[in-house]
Amino acid sequence: MSVILSKVGGIFIPVSNIRDAREWYCGILGLEPTFNIIADHLCCIPLDNNGSNLILDSKIYHVDATYRNPAFHFNTDDIQKAYQFMTDSNVEIVTGIEHGHWFNFKDPDGNLLMVCKC
């Protein structure tokens, strides 16, 4: 038994503008952008009821610090509808739907992210 839990508490995303990033991420996740901005550079967006958070951080932002490979993926039950939603939302789509299960996209800062039907 380890003192390190097999649970992810947060995923950091480097963003250039914390307020704009909060609006954008809440928009694609269907959340109200009411989450507090802490110390003028952090915003924790809850991802589930298990304590996982998406942590937007403008203090760690640098163009070289953005994700060039997806570090995680957002889940969906319907990959076709998710793809259409992101297209309709003018999100920069990087790939088509691959193998019927996932696609990659970029956030406004160029972080490469993924949506996956699992």
Residue range 26-42, pLDDT digits in tens: 999 999 999 999 999 99
pTM as predicted? 0.93
Residue 46 has pLDDT above 90, yes or no: yes
Tell me the pLDDT tens digit for each residue of 84-94. Answer: 999 999 999 99
* Residue 40 CB contacts under 8 Å (≥ 6 apart), including other chains: 18
Q: What is the pLDDT of residue 72?
A: 94
* DSSP three-state, residue 112: strand
Q: Half-sphere exposure of 65 toward its Cβ, with a 13 Å CA cutoff?
A: 12
The beta strand positions in 6-101, using DSSP E, are 10-14, 37-38, 42-46, 53-57, 73-76, 92-93
In contact, 12 and 60? CB cutoff 8 Å: yes
